[in-house]
Amino acid sequence: MIKVLKISKKYGKKIVLNKIDLEFQKGAINALLGHNGSGKTTLLKIILNLVRPTNGDVQINNQSILNKWEYRKDIGYMAQIANFPENLTPIKLFDLITKLRNAQPINRDELIKQLNLSSELEKPLKNLSGGTKQKVNAVLALMFDLPILILDEPTAGLDPVASRTLKKLLLIEKNKGKTIILTSHILSDIEQLSDFIHILNDGNVIFSGSKEKLITNGNLEKAISKLFLNIKNKQND
């Protein structure tokens, strides 16, 4: 389980995250939702120590991970923007990350097959489309069979077939007992995949709980609209 404890992040005077507390459950897909600039990516990056929080702590299995790097051996990360060295080929990139991690990429060949990447493996990454780079990004995150997956808008830029394949893969990973955190603006994906939903608004958590608790009537879009309407009404009062 990943615990976010009173995490704050300020950039100058701008408060991106405001003392937020969250728990991401094991063996579940935890969706992180919010408007652009609500702090979703910043929170994911704090968990990875790519961004240093102003205050607060993050614990994985009750161990603080701030200013540490070894714990990342258990995390697969899919960044929002997939940009790699231009002259590298996907296969060389996979080899590089494998060597750096000193781990066995046990899922690699199966992922390459399922995401239809076989014909692209020897091409320089500069010649690949954005969608294909995103598939490469997905292989990098999933190929080591790691217990934690952090995915920042994983289906963005993917064609419908690849998107469906990736969602299927994520459900398989969840059933293996992994902790999966993902962000997305595609609500149908969230509704289809997630077990727990956490919604951020202006750096605050406005909802955190099971999908069923949020969607009491209708669909996710209606539930979120209702939630934001309630907040707006409270602010107006």
Partner 1 sequence: MTKILLIQEINDLLKSRWIIAYAILFFILIESLYWFSGDVSKVLVSLTNIVLIVLPLISLLFGIQHIYNRSEFNEILLSQPIPRKIIFVASYLATTIVLSSAFILGSGLPILLREINGELIISMTILFTGVFISCSFLALAYLIAFSQNDKAKGFGIGLILWAVFLIVYDGIFMLILYSFRDYPLEIPAIVFNSLNPINLARIIITLKLDLSAMMGYTGAIYKKYFGSTIGIIISTSILFLWIAIPYYLARRIFVNKDF
Residues within the interface to partner 1 (CB under 8 A): 45, 48-52, 69-73, 75, 77, 79, 81-88, 96-97, 99-101, 140
Nearer to partner 1, 63 or 217 (CB): 63
Sign of CA dihedral 98, 104, 105, 110: positive
Extended strands (E) in 14-89: 14-24, 28-34, 55-60, 63-64, 75-78
Q: Tell me how far apart the alpha carbons of residues 189 and 49 are, in angstroms, rounded to a whole number.
A: 27
Smaller CB distance to partner 1: residue 102 or 235? Answer: 102
Residue 82: CB minimum distance to partner 1, A: 8
Q: CB nearer to partner 1: give 103 or 231.
A: 103
The CB-of-104 to partner 1 minimum distance in angstroms stands at 15
- What is the smallest separation between the CB atom of 157 and partner 1, expressed in angstroms? 14
Q: How far is the CB of 180 from partner 1 (least distance, A)?
A: 15
Residue 185 sits at φ, ψ, to 5 deg, of -105, 0
Task: Specify the residue, 16 or 190, whose C-beta has the smaller distance to partner 1.
Answer: 16
CB atoms within 10 A of CB 18: 17
* Residue 69 or 233 with smaller CB distance to partner 1: 69
User: Residue 209 CB, nearest distance to partner 1 (Å)?
Assistant: 28
Q: What is the DSSP string of 94-130?
A: HHHHHHHHT---TTHHHHHHHTT-GGGTTS-GGGS-H
H or E stretch covering 161 = helix 160-175
